[in-house]
Structures are given as structure tokens and as C-alpha cells.
Amino acid sequence: MSRNFLTKPTRTIAGLLTGLLFAILAIPLAATTAPESRGRGFGPAYDAAHETTLNGTIQEVVTKHVIGSPAGMHLLVAGPQGVVDTHVGSFLSKATKESLQVGTSVQIIGATVTLRGKEYFLARQLTVDGRTVTVRSKHGLLVREHTPRATRSPSAGNTEQKSQAALNGGAR
């Protein structure tokens, strides 16, 4: 009797473990692959084939992130289509940011995307005050705006070092 008592739980456990093993192996076989991303692993996908030009006037500059929207600066632009939420990203230069004021006319080339049920216009190129700025690459990746750096002559650096040495009581 004790022999029968010990073999039943062993067979039951072995059967459960075998069933669990088959279940683990069957799940990956039935799983489907995720759809292929369009160039990046994050953020809304940019569709260059559907680019349009938006001409309008800035109604509001939004710098504070709203949950559910693309991160970075947004412009609410009033145009013929109504007010459009335009995403310009986080990489604009200080000078460009300062030129984006309420009431300023802008021309923006970009594409519309729907994210969590709301439409956003992703800017690829922004023209403000006669100056054109590239916001995204042709593939939709945000790019840092390049601004010319101030040039310093070699003698200017030496003057700074000499005056600092003078303040410290001379060269030592």
C-alpha cells in the first residue's frame, strides 16, 4: 500500500511538469511578430510621402510637456485648416526659440500623424523671419540646429590668461 501511495503523486507531478513544458514550448510557436517599425524604435513614425506645407500664424508656444503628446516644443499654428498642433522638438537654437512668438507668421513643411487619437503636425522644416531651419531629417529623426559659433582670435585667449595671471598676483 505504501508503494502505491508514493507512486501516484510522483506520476501526477511528472504529468503536470510535462504539460507545463509543452505549454511553454507552444506559446512562442503561436506568437506573432510585432509589425516592423518605420525607422526608429520610439516616437511617432514620420511619413515623408505625405508631407504638406502649413502657412499660418503662431497662436501659442507650448514648452511644457503634456502627457501623451510628443516631447519637446509645440506651436499652435492658426492657418486655413484651423489651429494645428505642430511639434518642433527640443533641438532648436536659442535664437530660433526666441523668434517663435505669438503673432509671428511661419511656414512649416511636415507630415501629420495621429497619436493616441490626436493629430499632430511633425515639422521637418520651419521658416520664420525669412530664415529656414531644419527640424527633422527626411526620415523624420529630430536634428540639432547648427548655429555658427563665435570665433575667438588666439590673441584674445592670451589676453584672458594674462589678465587672470595679473589678478592672481602675477605668473608663478
Q: What domains, with CATH codes, occur in the chain?
A: 48-134 (2.40.50.140)
Instruction: Render pLDDT for 5-59 as a digit per residue (tens, 0 to 9).
Output: 555 677 788 887 787 666 676 665 544 444 433 444 455 688 889 999 999 999 9
Phi, psi of 31 (to 5 degrees): -70, 150
Instruction: Render pLDDT for 61-111 as a digit per residue (tens, 0 to 9).
Output: 999 998 888 999 999 999 998 999 999 999 999 999 999 999 999 999 999
Separation CA 127–CA 86 (nearest Å): 13
Full-model pTM:
0.61
